[in-house]
Amino acid sequence: MTNLLTGYLEDRSTAQYFCFSISCEVCGEFWYSSSVPFSKAGQAAEHREKRELYDAVYQREKNRARLAAGREAVERFSQCPICRRLVCDSCFLICDEMDMCRECAGRLKESGEPVAP
Amino acid sequence: MKIRWLPFLLLCLVLAGCSTASDTGGRLILAAEGAEAYGSVLSPFLWGYTLQEAEDSLYAELDRGSAVACFDVQAIPAMDRGLGRYWYPHVSATVVLAVDRTQTDAVITGWDSLRENHIQVGMGSSSVMRNMLVMGALSYGLNRKEPVKRDALAFLESLVGNGGFEPEESDAPVLLCLDYEAVEWNRSGGNYEIIVPSEGTLSFRLGLLSDAPLTLEPGLDEALLSAGLPLANGQRPYGFPDDYRTARTLEEEDYDRFLELTGDSSRDLRRQVFHTRLYTTADLREHILSAVLVAVAILLWKGTVSHRMLRADVRRAVAVMSWLMVGWLLLRLFKYQLAEESTLSRMCWYGYYLFQLALPAVLLYLTEILDKPEKERQPARTRWPAFICYLLSVLLVMTNDLHQLVFRFEANGNWPKDYSYGPGYWLIIAASFILLALAVVKLFRMGRRSSYRGGKLFPLLFCGSLLAYVLAYIYRVPLAWESDITVNICILSVLFFESALRTGLVPVNIQYQRLFASAPINLTLLDESGHTVLSSGGVRPVSRSLWMRLLADIQRPLLRDRDTQLHAVSICGGMAVWQEDLSQLNHLKREIQEVQSRLEAANALLREEGEVKKRMLAAETGRELCEQLDRDMERRITVLTGLIKSLPETKDPKRLIAHITLCLCHIKRRCNLFFLARQGMALPGDELGIYLDELAELACYTGVKMLVRCGETGALDIRRAALCYDFTFETISWTLEAAASPLMGYLEAENDCLVFRFLPDADPNRWRFSEELLAEVSALGGQITCKDLDDAVGLCMTLPLGGETNG
Ligand SMILES: [Zn+2]
Ligand SMILES: [Zn+2]
């Protein structure tokens, strides 16, 4: 699941911080991961070697932040077992027999409570 | 530790300090009034138990394992409810009339004779228990079959109107008391006639109630009798009336009835007999209930105010005010629970002022912060005087035991009732009045800006009534003095503040809610913890992850979904977030993209069509070219074919072959020129010369001697060059036919004309050039003429150079 989510992450990072988002495929609302500041943000690179070093650090920290965002997203997203889409907790319903997304539940006339209202 | 837990901690400490129970050995507790004599006789017979003061209610003491001396009306209902398992009745106690014969000699036989004589009646005490015993005896006495409370109350009320009824009074001529009490007074020198009311009365039994079986040493009955106490079995020592027939002892089934009759008797006495406390709480239960209710109401009110207020500092001040009032009420409740009037309960009494005096100070602080925008830091010096004033006042009150400057009373006397005010009290009251007045004046000065003038009446009214009430209480005006000052001050303060809110003296944001709800601005205001404070109608709430991301980087707008973008600015105490609807924009973008892709497709289609057309056109052009070439060459090829056909019959095949070769060469060059003409190219003058020389050379083989000289003509256009070439070929053909060899040719440019002259060796007047050649020459505005020279006739073709005359 984490791998799946990590694949869906959209990059919203800036030079100052790393942030990723995933949109719910049912309601379309974006969820944003907690932003992680770049450790070298705001430090000027005086020469080319240093800039390259910073770029490398940036990439490494970004990858780490992406993994963390994926782990964070696991808490808020589920994959609907029926339509296989990624849905946010407000669109994912706990139904009697099988949990599923709001739209599938509507189609199958199932009722349930959302994971997070 | 956060400061807000401090009051709670203090309260815990105070409460923990109260429960210092010494649980060593059994305790004998006196829970019945007037049982001291009984207790002191009993104590030596009850081994292992020591006589102690009650620290708690009868039932709590029982629970702790104490043996409790009490009346049967206390013990039996308690046992019915599972409290106390062992009941040992020892002493009988009958409610009687004790008539002080030193004061009156009226004939008194029972209850009714009291009504007839205008004599003051007392009870010696107004405790709850005493009220209950007397009320019970009265009810049973006045109606033996169906005793009702109403009768007893009506009787006492008539006594009040008659000669006076003073529950507290112990020096009245007639006292309602227990028989052994009256006997005791007589023993110590009193002159009381003890009368068992003829209408009837009740005999109660005084005894020991315990959870554990008690072992009493033998000889108790004798000891009780010798101490002047009547026994429960009816045996009485000297000094008691002889006739107890009208006194009734309660049976097992009577107790519930008794409790029903005498329940709430203190309240009923106050309200229905003395007509006091009609509009305020009359007994402990009502005190507690009203205090709890008011506390709950204040907390609810605080909730509504925080809901209406946007400013966090104002909200905090209102919260402090509410908690002060609630704390005050709770402290009072706590004081009610204290069984005796100890130093602790006096400290609680002083503690009221901790809350009471803080209220005006907080109100003043509130008016000061209201006057300024939230973020502006006020100079501390404007607040210090009020705070110091409050601190000193509290300090003065709390140390009252040391100097008695605030309240004056006898430390061992009935201080909760008998106290007077010292100069310190007037000082602190004046100080808090000044604070209150300052706050109110400030409030009204600010309220000048408000347009709602008539509404200021209510705050003034409540403020005035608050002042009046406090003054009335201090001067002990009965209505105020009898009432619950804490509850009333709290209610009046809340009313005052609420009316100030309602009339706009304190600005609230009730309207914002409506404004937000109806405004189509898609704006949401969030507080510091990300909770929505205000939100315009139809806006989805901002989720926590969105809020955190906005908080991390407020400058950068973020997408809520594909069609909504959030922008935020940080504001005081939170942030404002508004939503930009991108759906129109996205729709437009999509449309543009669609149009673009459609255009691209159309473009590709057109391009392909063009290609096809071009290819078709090229094919067409090629066909036309061929046709034209065919037409052009047809005649020449016919001539050539004729020549070739005549080849077998000729006498001079060599010459004929040369002629055929000449024709072939001509056709080849003409084709060449035809294609060059299609390409629109020019032919250099010397190239034409080469062509002409080629013709001359081939003509040699046919037997025609000829010479062609080309002058300076420059580059010729293909059409003229082709004409020159054709003219030369046809001339050669005629020369061949007319055997007019040798042939001289000369091509030169003369006065904008191209002039090509031939001088054959015969007369060329009969030579006929082809139609096509002549037509082409005249089309270019030129001509072919024969010119008679001196000894010969020359052929001359003139063609104008330059611009074509397409005639
Ligand atoms: Zn969703
Ligand atoms: Zn689904």
Structural domain spans, chain B:
25-273, 284-502, 512-581, 650-800
At residue B604's C-alpha, the angle toward residues B599 and B605, to 5°, is 95
Residue B247: what pLDDT?
Answer: 83
For the ranges B375-389, B460-474, B475-489, B584-598, the one whose mean pLDDT is highest:
B584-598
> Average of pLDDT values for B568-582?
85
For the ranges B42-46, B272-276, B341-345, the one whose mean pLDDT is highest:
B42-46
Residue B455: what pLDDT?
Answer: 63
At residue B716's C-alpha, the angle toward residues B713 and B720, to 5°, is 110
* Model confidence band, residue B599 (pLDDT cutoffs 50, 70, 90): very high
Give the start-to-end residue ranges of the domains of chain A: 2-114
pLDDT digits (tens, 9 = 90+) for B705-761: 888 888 877 778 888 888 888 889 888 888 888 888 788 888 888 888 888 888 888
- A77 CA distance to ligand 1 middle (Å): 9
Nearest ligand, CA of residue A24? Answer: 1
For the ranges A84-93, B25-34, B439-448, the one whose mean pLDDT is highest:
A84-93
> Which ranges constitute the DSSP H helices of B64-121?
72-80, 111-116
Domain B650-800 has CATH 3.10.310.30: no
Cβ-contact B400, B415 below 8 angstroms: no
Residue B544: what pLDDT?
Answer: 86
* Model confidence band, residue A62 (pLDDT cutoffs 50, 70, 90): very high
- Of the ranges B54-58, B212-216, B319-323, which one carries the lowest mean pLDDT score? B54-58
Residue B19: what pLDDT?
Answer: 42
Residue A32 to chain B, least CA–CA distance (Å):
5
Residue A110: what pLDDT?
Answer: 86
**Which fold is adopted by the domain B284-502?**
Rhopdopsin 7-helix transmembrane proteins (1.20.1070)
> Average of pLDDT values for B369-392?
73
What's the number of CA atoms in the CB half-sphere (13 Å) around residue B89? Answer: 19
Greater model confidence, B631 or B594 = B594
> Average of pLDDT values for B280-299?
80
pLDDT digits (tens, 9 = 90+) for B224-280: 888 888 888 888 888 888 888 888 888 877 888 888 877 777 777 776 666 665 555
Residue B583 to chain A, least CA–CA distance (Å):
13
> Average of pLDDT values for A22-38?
90
d(CA B799, CA B602): 53
Task: Kindly list the residues from chain B whose CB atom is less than 8 angstroms away from the CB atom of residue A14.
Answer: 553, 556
DSSP B371-399: TS-TTSPPPGGGTHHHHHHHHHHHHHHHT
Taking phi over 0 as left and psi of -120 to 50 as alpha, with beta for the rest, B105 belongs to: alpha
Task: Kindly list the residues from chain B whose CB atom is less than 8 angstroms away from the CB atom of residue A16.
Answer: 553
Residue B447: what pLDDT?
Answer: 67
Task: Kindly list the residues from chain B whose CB atom is less than 8 angstroms away from the CB atom of residue A19.
Answer: 549, 552-553
- Of the ranges B49-63, B321-335, B609-623, B708-722, which one carries the lowest mean pLDDT score? B49-63
| Cross-chain residue pair A31–B561, CB shorter than 8 Å | no
Residue B375: what pLDDT?
Answer: 56
| Cross-chain residue pair A28–B562, CB shorter than 8 Å | yes
**Mean pLDDT taken over chain B:** 81
Residue B276: what pLDDT?
Answer: 60
Residue A34 to chain B, least CA–CA distance (Å):
7
Percent of chain B with pLDDT over 90: 5
pLDDT digits (tens, 9 = 90+) for B495-531: 888 888 777 777 666 566 677 777 777 888 888 888 8
Cβ contacts of residue B79 below 8 Å, gap of 6+? B85, B87, B209
pLDDT digits (tens, 9 = 90+) for B398-445: 888 888 888 888 777 777 777 888 888 888 888 888 888 888 888 877
ipTM of the complex: 0.87
Cβ-contact B741, B705 below 8 angstroms: yes
pLDDT digits (tens, 9 = 90+) for B546-559: 888 888 888 888 88
Nearest ligand, CA of residue A77? Answer: 1
| Cross-chain residue pair A30–B563, CB shorter than 8 Å | no
* Model confidence band, residue B16 (pLDDT cutoffs 50, 70, 90): very low
- Fold equal for B25-273 and B512-581: no
* Model confidence band, residue B484 (pLDDT cutoffs 50, 70, 90): confident
* Model confidence band, residue A52 (pLDDT cutoffs 50, 70, 90): confident
pLDDT digits (tens, 9 = 90+) for B177-232: 888 888 888 888 888 888 888 888 888 888 888 888 888 888 888 888 888 888 88
Q: Which residues of B touch A (CB under 8 A)?
A: 540, 543, 545-546, 548-549, 552-553, 556, 558-563
Residue B472: what pLDDT?
Answer: 87
The dihedral built from the CA positions of residue B234, B239, B243 and B249, taken in this order, carries a sign that is negative
pLDDT digits (tens, 9 = 90+) for B663-711: 899 888 888 888 888 787 788 768 888 888 888 888 888 888 888 888 8
Nearest to B561 among A14, A16, A30 (CB): A30
Inter-chain contacts counted by CB atoms under 8 A, chains A and B: 42
Nearest to B549 among A28, A29, A32 (CB): A32
| Cross-chain residue pair A19–B552, CB shorter than 8 Å | yes
- Of the ranges B156-165, B268-277, B535-544, B795-804, which one carries the lowest mean pLDDT score? B268-277
Residue B607: what pLDDT?
Answer: 94
The dihedral built from the CA positions of residue B30, B35, B36 and B37, taken in this order, carries a sign that is negative
> Average of pLDDT values for B162-189?
83
The dihedral built from the CA positions of residue B221, B224, B225 and B230, taken in this order, carries a sign that is negative
Helix (H, G, I), strand (E, B), or coil: what is residue B339? coil
- A105 CA distance to ligand 1 middle (Å): 13
pLDDT digits (tens, 9 = 90+) for B611-620: 999 999 988 8
Q: Which CATH architecture has domain B25-273?
A: 3-Layer(aba) Sandwich (3.40)
> Average of pLDDT values for B140-144?
82
Nearest to A34 among B548, B561, B563 (CB): B548
* Model confidence band, residue B22 (pLDDT cutoffs 50, 70, 90): very low
Q: Which residues of B644-659 are buried (b: 16+ CB within 10 A; e: fewer)?
A: eeeeeeeeeeeebbbb
d(CA B417, CA B349): 12
Domain B512-581 has CATH 3.40.1840: yes
Cβ-contact B357, B432 below 8 angstroms: yes
Cβ-contact A22, A12 below 8 angstroms: no
Residue B187: what pLDDT?
Answer: 86
Residue B415: what pLDDT?
Answer: 75
Kind of pairing between the strands at B86-100 and B192-195: antiparallel
pTM: 0.46
Residue B356 has pLDDT above 80, yes or no: yes
Residue B157 has pLDDT above 50, yes or no: yes
Q: Which residue has the tokens 């040798």?
A: B742
For the ranges B46-55, B257-266, B646-655, B724-733, the one whose mean pLDDT is highest:
B724-733
Question: How far out from the chain centre does Cα B752 lie?
Answer: 101
Greater model confidence, B283 or B457 = B457
